[in-house]
Amino acid sequence: MSEPIPESVPTSADPRSKRPLKRRALTPVAEQATQIESLFRDPTKEIQIPEPSKPRTSASLPPPPEIVANVQGSSAGAGSGEFHVYKASRRREYERLRLMEEEVKREKADEEFERKREETKRKDEEKTEKNRKKREKRRAAKSRRLAGSNGDEEMKVDKPPTKTVGPASTSEGVPSHGDQVPPADKLETAHEEPGVIIHEED
């Protein structure tokens, strides 16, 4: 162990040192705080936000070579560098095939999602239409009930009375003036056809 003399103290911990202390972000919160502080030091400075990276597709990769010159087999004569060339071309081809398979899977997943969404939308529309028809039926039945109950109050059915055709008389039994009394043999009772008589109430 070193002696507790000024020479044994680390340079960064020495109070005589003019070097700034290294500030290390210990937690993600502290790291984010330092980033925000550095941004707020100069608010007029324009912030460069990088564009989102485009997903790699098989079309973004260079196409495989159509003609491969100097093809080396597994027999003797292949140089030491040919193995690495083969490994690199094989890796590129596997990457291209993997991206093509991912595109096919994504297209299938999109089709499945669209199909499910259309089916759900159709079911929802059918259910909405069914509920709308139910509501209309209930409204119609309610309006018929209300109309029927109002009509019963307004219309009163009585038995058809037998009407005697004769002179109109006053309360005293004396014919009112202006009326002529027909002879007794001419008086006859007129019968009306039975039906509904509507009395309008005031």
Q: pLDDT: is 34 or 115 the higher one?
A: 115
Residue-range domain boundaries for the chain: 82-152
pLDDT on residue 146: 87
Residue 159's alpha-carbon distances to 20, 148, 181, 192, 194, in angstroms, are: 116, 21, 29, 11, 8
Lowest mean per-residue pLDDT among 4-18, 19-33, 56-70, 159-173: 159-173
pLDDT on residue 126: 95
- Is residue 137 within 8 A of residue 144, CB to CB? The reply is no
Q: Considering the chain, what percentage of its residues have pLDDT values greater than 90?
A: 23
pLDDT single digits (tens) 89-127:
889 889 989 999 999 999 999 999 999 999 999 999 999
CA 103 to chain centre: 27
pLDDT single digits (tens) 124-138:
999 999 999 999 999
Q: Considering the chain, what percentage of its residues have pLDDT values greater than 70?
A: 58
Mean pLDDT of the chain: 75
Residue 34's alpha-carbon distances to 46, 47, 48, 137, in angstroms, are: 18, 16, 18, 67
Please, which pLDDT band fits residue 164 given cuts at 50, 70 and 90?
A: low
Look-up: residue for tokens 């109309």? 147
